Structure formats: structure tokens, C-alpha cells
A and B are shown apart, each in its own frame.
Chain A
Amino acid sequence: MLLDVLSYGFMQKALIAGISVAIICSFMGTFLVLRRYALFGDGIAHVAFGGISVGLFLGVAPLWSAFVVSVLGGLGLQKLRSSTKISGDAAVAVILVSGLAVGVTLVSASGGFSVDLFSFLFGSILLISLEDTITIIGISAGIVVMLLVFQKQFLHISFNEEQAKVAGLNVTMLNYLFVVIAAVTVVTSMRLVGILLISALIVIPNLSAMLFGKGFKKTIVISVSMSVVSVVVGIFLSYYLNLAPSGMIVLIAVALLLGTLACRSLGLISKINIQEPSKISHNA
């Protein structure tokens, strides 16, 4: 039977950790995409590669060294953007190549690539341990709580930073908090799709969700749903077809995006919008 596979412990852990990651990537991704930080995930993931290499080189847990280095990388990125005239995409490029260079240098110093490093690069959700699953659930819960608490503030600075300042928000502090949460999200998600594909989970479900033309909360719900569907279907298909889960998850997300685009061009999504009750009043 199709669902027999759910009796396997590795599958249960993969699905639970995968759904947790799907939720935080798409939720955080909404703000990243709105703030034109779409490639931030990619940049931080490459810094995380440097962090993992530091961990492997020093013989400490690579996940934790990745957290520390990525958060520092995120803060550095924010500082670079705010205190210099370097544009956002150029700042991401500087941080991205720096992280990668540190990683490559340390890997060569430690005598070459290891199996551990490959699992971080391409993801290894089916091999995830119980401890890692619990860690991912715990951190994901923390991220969701933070995003729920600060969602209005993050929406405001995503909409217009100057307006947020005038409204009395501490935009500088919020920006730093934002990059720290984003960095933690990226590192937590690495085990699912790997460093090289992480930005796909951050960007693609959100692009699909925004095509529906809904408000903020509905867009997040659609984005999270698409992300969860991509992860669950991707993991199942990868098991039955014996293919890499990270690749399958991203391909499903891309398929959902293409499907949404097709629905939109066929007018199926715009029809939904027209049916929304919204009387136009011109009585000021």
C-alpha cells in the first residue's frame, strides 16, 4: 500500500522535519521575497557551507558552527547594505563568495571532501536522526513564534522602511532581527534540500502564492500549503522512484509554480478575484 511507507521511522522523521522546514522557509520567504532579498537564502547557505567546513575542520558539530557563522554572515550582510553604498545584490555576492571561499579553503586544508559535507550540500532528509528532527522541530517552532510576533513589523518594513520609521518602529533593530531569523531559517532547512537548493524553497512557493492576488495572510497560507505539498509529495516520490528527495521537492515546487502560472494565464485565478465581494464606492 502507498501509505505503508509511513510505518518506517526514517520516513516519519523525514516528513515531520520536512513539513517543519517547509513552513518556516515559505513563511520567512514571504518577507525575503517582498524585500527583494530573494537571493539572501542562497548567500547565507553558502556562508553556512563555510560554517560547516569550520565545524568539520575544528571537529565540532557542523550544524552549530553553521548557525554561528551564518548569523554572523547575515549581520555582516545587513551592515554592508546599511553602512556602505554597496547595493543589496552586490552585498549578497560578496558574502556568498566569501563563505564559499572559506569552505573550499578549509576543506582542502582538512584533506578533501567528506560524506558529511555532501549531505549538507545536497540534503539528506531520509537519513535524518531523531536528535536532528527534534532540533529542527524546536527551532522551527521558535521561528514561527518570532514571525507571528513580528509579522506586522516585518510587513511594514517590507512595504516601506521610511513609513515604518515614521510610525515609530526601530527599523535598524528590526532589520538585524530579520537577518538573524532568516539565517537561522536557512541553516535549519539545509538538511532538507541542501545548501545548493535552499533558495528554491524560500522563493518558489511565495512566487506561486503571490500569483493568486490575495492579501497578506491568505498569501502566507497559500505559500505554506504549496511548500508543504512540495515537500510531502517530493519525499514520497523520491522514495518510490528512488531519486534524490531534494531534487524532487524542488521540481514539485517548480511544477506548482508553472501550474499556477498556467491557471492565471487561462483566467482561472483572475476569475476567483472577480468573484470577491467588493463594491466600489465613490462616496468620500
Chain B
Amino acid sequence: MSMTTVLQVENLTIGYNNHIAVDDISFDVAEGDILGIVGPNGAGKTTLFRAILGLQNYKGKIKLFEYGPDKYKSLIPLVGYVPQKIAFEPNFPATVYDIVSMGIISDKKIVKGGKLIQQCGCCWNRVYKKIDKTEDKILEALKTVGMEDLKNRRIGELSGGELQRVFIAKSLVKDPLLLILDEPVTSVDVESQTKFYNVIKKINKENGITIVWSSHDLDAIKKYANRVSCMNRKLFFHGEKEKFFEDENILKTYTESAMQMHMHDHNH
């Protein structure tokens, strides 16, 4: 079975306020990959994700599921996104169930996207999967992330780790083909981090969802990812994780660049 390229980034450059945030980077992500993106703060990881999600202007090419700009917008609903942190009012009157049900909204878009893919000769039939039983779908997503018992809890009462799992469930209800996680366990305790990573591994294995995930935690990347990208505005490395962790020069470059960025942050 031939592997499909879920995401292709070609010569991507993003600049704003006379500052280059992402400098001419190219890489691709194959179906079923867990790609760990490492890089220091300010390396452009979040900016890169925002460009992939259509939230940021850029120069270069981004292809989603092998389709370019003309069909790109209608395919974005097939991408789930869990940002580093979602700011909301602590009193926001929504339960875990309410938040996850928001993910169902884009059914029509997904079906539309599915038709689009089929017209173009792609065989991802599961895009067509009709969501007949919305409630079942929500409960199934909550079960996947281990949050079914907290479905009636207000989101303002959840811990950081529980919240991130809720946002993954919100992405899961729309049957995403690609899930983008932007430093999802920052400020989450170690126990919750492990639970979170187990969920990621599970949905990648059982649901076949491709995952692109940024993190500072090299141990977690080593344990859960199969491919690694290392960037600091420019892309230093992209390939199999074994190659990344075996090559001392690459690791040294990453560590030095992280240190430089750390010093730069302190000096400003």
C-alpha cells in the first residue's frame, strides 16, 4: 500500500514586523507519522502551524493531502489543532460535553472536503463517514481520551492536562486525518503528560491519525515520535528519529541554538 503524503511544506518563509519567523523551510509528513518538531522558544514552530492552518500569510507552498492552494481551504476542517493554551474565561458556561460537541459543527465541510478529495481521485473513504449519532460520537471521543466520566464538568474546573485531552476529543469528533499539537503539555504535571502521550499514541495507532507535534521534551519525542524535525527559524534536520538522536552533531546544534535563543530572550 502506497503511503500518502499528508502535508508538504516547500520553501516556506514567514515574516512579520520586519522579522523572519520561518526561513525557507521544506519538509513533508507521511500518513501515519508522528512527527516531533523540536526547537527553542521563538524558533517559529507556532508560526509554522498557523500557516498550515491557514491563519497566517506566507511565501512558499503548503500542500494538504497532496492538494494545493485552490482546494486547501476546504481541507483544513480535516485537520485537528490543539494549541499550547486556549485562553477562556474561568466562568465560561460550558461543560466538557459542550466543548467537544463544538467539533461536530463542521460536518458539512468535512463531507464537502470528502467529495472534493474523491473528485480528485483520492481514496480516503472514511472522510465520507456520516456522523449520524452525534452523541455517540462525542462520548466515543471522550472515552478515547479518558474523559467520559467528566463530561458534565465545567471546563473552568479542569486541570491543564484534562483540558488538553478535552481539546483533543474536540478534534477527534470530526474524524481528522491530521492532528497538530503545539507544545500540548506545557505547564502540565508529569502524570498527566504520560496520560496525554498515551492518548496520542493510541489515536495514531487505532484511528490512523497522522500527528505533528511540537515539544521541548526530547525524551518524549524519542519515546513517541517516529520522525523528527529540528528548527530554529531554519530547518536543521528532518528525518527518522533514530538518525536525529544518534547524530551528536545535530543534537549539539540543537542544544547550542536553544541556549543561544535562551540567552537572547534574557538579554531582551
A: residues with CB less than 8 A from B are 30, 34, 152-153, 155-156, 159-160, 162-163, 165-169, 209-210, 213-219, 276-284
Contacts and interface: CB of A to CB of B under 8 A. Distances in A.
B135 to A, nearest CB: 14
A210 B94 CA distance: 10
B94 A159 contact: yes
A215 B150 contact: no
Contacts of B42: none
Interface of B: 53-55, 76-77, 79, 81, 83, 86-89, 91-95, 97-99, 101-106, 109-110, 145-150, 152-154, 165, 174, 191, 194-196, 198-199
B149 A152 contact: no
A206 to B, nearest CB: 9
B94 A284 contact: no
A159 B154 CA distance: 13
B102 A284 contact: no
Nearest to A214: B93
A284 B145 contact: yes
A168 B102 contact: no
Contacts of A153: 105
Contacts of A167: 77, 102-103, 105-106, 174
A170 to B, nearest CB: 10
A203 to B, nearest CB: 14
Contacts of B150: 278, 280-281
Contacts of B98: 155, 215-217
Given A278-B152, A284-B145, A152 B105 contact: yes
A209 B110 CA distance: 35
16 contacts: A34-B93, A159-B99, A160-B87, A163-B81, A163-B86, A166-B53, A167-B103, A168-B77, A213-B93, A216-B93, A278-B150, A278-B153, A281-B147, A281-B149, A284-B165, A284-B199
